[in-house]
Structure formats: C-alpha cells, structure tokens
Amino acid sequence: MIEFAHNPVMLEECMDGLNLRSGGVYFDGTLGGGGHSFEILRRTAPDGRLIATDLDDSAIAAAKKRLEPFTGRFSIYKSNFKNFSEALEEAGIDKLNGVILDFGVSSFQLDEVSRGFSYMKDAPLDMRMDWQSPFSAKDVINGYSERALEEVIRKYGEEKFSARIAQNIVKRREQKEFETTGELAEIVEKSIPAKFRQNGPCARKTFQAIRIEVNGELDGLAQAVKDLTLRLDKGGRICVLTFHSLEDRIVKNVFRDLASDCICDKSLPVCVCGKKKEIELITHKPLTASSEETEKNSRSKCAKLRIAEKV
C-alpha cells in the first residue's frame, strides 16, 4: 500500500483565512492526512487546541503520526464532520475559534488502486470513504434502477449523457454484474458520443456522482455548514474548500443566508421576521488557487475557497 500523502490545496490562503491565534480552539472536519491540522497546531503554539474528524482509517492513522509533535493538543474522532456536535461534546468544547472543511478527495484515495475511486485504473468497484460501511459503488451500479442511476449521474455528476449511461449500465449488468471500475469506465466511455471523447477519458463526472452517492457527501451538508458556523465564537472564522459546483453552491447559499439581515418582503413597511446577520463574508467571491499552485497540483484547478467570520 502506498503512503497516505495529501498536499493541502490553498494552504496559505486557508491559514490566513482562519486568522489563527495562540490559545484558540479549532475544528478540522475533514482531517485527511493532517496537512491543515499540522499547520493549525504549528501556528497556534504553544497552547492552541484542535479537534478533528475523518471517516478514513488510513487517513486517521497517518494524521496521528504526522501530528505526534503536538501530542496533548489535539483530539481525533472517527466520525463524519456532520456529527461534529458529538465530537465537540466528548472533547468538552463549546465554542470554536475556527473551522476548516476541505471537501477534496485526497491524492492517496485517488491513487490507491484498491479504493476504487479512480476511473484511470482498474480496481474493485468500491469508493467507500469508510471501509466499515456496508454500502459501496458496487451496490449502486448493480442495484439501482435505471431511473435512479440516471438521476444520481445527472444530479451529482452534472452529466448531460446521464440517461444513455444509465441505460447502458442496466443493459450490461443484465448479462453480468459489474465488479470493477474498469468495467464501469468502459461502459461510460461507450455511452458518450465520439465527438465528445476527443479530449481524453469522459468517466470523471459519472465516477464523481457515484462517489457522492456512496458516501452521502451532500446529504445534510447545508445544515452541517450552517450549524458549524453558528458554533463559532465572535470573530471566529470558517474556511470551506469545495471542488465542484454543487458543493460550492450549497456553501454559497448558506453563507448568503447567514450574512443577511431582514429577509421580509420588501413591500412590507417594517421588518416582521426579526432576522439578524450572523456572519460577515470575508470572501464575497471564492478564492481560487494561484497559477503556480495549479501548475504543481492539477487537482487544485477546480478548488474554490469561501471564508466567513462570526459577528
């Protein structure tokens, strides 16, 4: 097995966005290999504290090793960040000074063949972030109806050929169930008209969609981002890195709502909703990676960073 390695995207922008300070309490909801967490702990020495969550056992093991120099200042929980309240309660934390969420799939997860995330390498059809979960990509591809498959691929992959792909998946599995990513990628490629296959493999959107479905990545995302933002102490910052338009849209809408005062119909003479703004937007438009970073790390090209501060 290859070593769990993950170079955080837009690291300096995230650290600057968090406005780190010694003695602060920070939450990394998507720990990964610990890249963001390491920098948070290093820059908040000697007494900054970190609470982190992740579902991937390999990530947690790698992060614990990486964060050893800061033993005593961090706590890691195997959990979905959406269940952050349980982790904070166990850690005895009420308010936070900063939150970071990085929704990118790590290089390790993409490059480790056995994980089945990549359409570029043939592997078991898996895609689970949490290997203890009983539900995998194989269950989606072999078990969902044609209509359900089409909806997943269209909604989460924003794939305009979703209907044709779903139809061909169902036809293929009537002869033999799908076992590997290579089999799925082959069907996807055959489902897309030749003129749209000129720029290389076309399975990315479908694989993204299946991964999102398997891991429930967008389920409850808006509520979790909102609730985490509201757990910030006054002046606390939240930084959210997204890697596709669906995630970014959700975060954008949550921040916009929290940054709004009265939401009454403008025709009313006075406010009756009583809503008060909860945050200030630090980034009115998302930050993107520099040209230098995108040259070194192609996976940073689609990253968007939104930052907000609790008022």
Q: What ranges do the domains of the chain cover? A: 1-34+46-58+88-103+220-262+278-311, 114-215
Q: Compare 108 and 72 and report the one with higher pLDDT.
A: 72
Local confidence band at 127 (pLDDT 50, 70, 90 cut-offs): very high
262 has pLDDT over 80: no
Which 8-state DSSP code applies to residue 9? T
Task: Give the 3-state secondary structure of residue 300.
Answer: helix
Which pLDDT value is given to residue 5? Answer: 53
Is the bond into 46 cis (omega within 30 degrees of 0)?
yes
**CATH top class, domain 114-215:** mainly alpha
Task: Give the 3-state secondary structure of residue 103.
Answer: coil
Q: Does domain 1-34+46-58+88-103+220-262+278-311 have CATH number 3.40.50.150?
A: yes
Read off φ and ψ for residue 246, nearest 5 degrees. Answer: -65, -45
Which pLDDT value is given to residue 1? Answer: 43
Which pLDDT value is given to residue 108? Answer: 66
* CA proximity to 27, closest of 69, 79, 75: 75
Q: 281 vs 88, 178, 232, 252, 308, CA distance in Å?
A: 25, 46, 14, 10, 5
Q: What's the first-to-final CA gap in the chain, in angstroms?
A: 46
Which pLDDT value is given to residue 266? Answer: 76
pLDDT digits (tens, 9 = 90+) for 31-53: 999 999 999 999 999 999 999 99
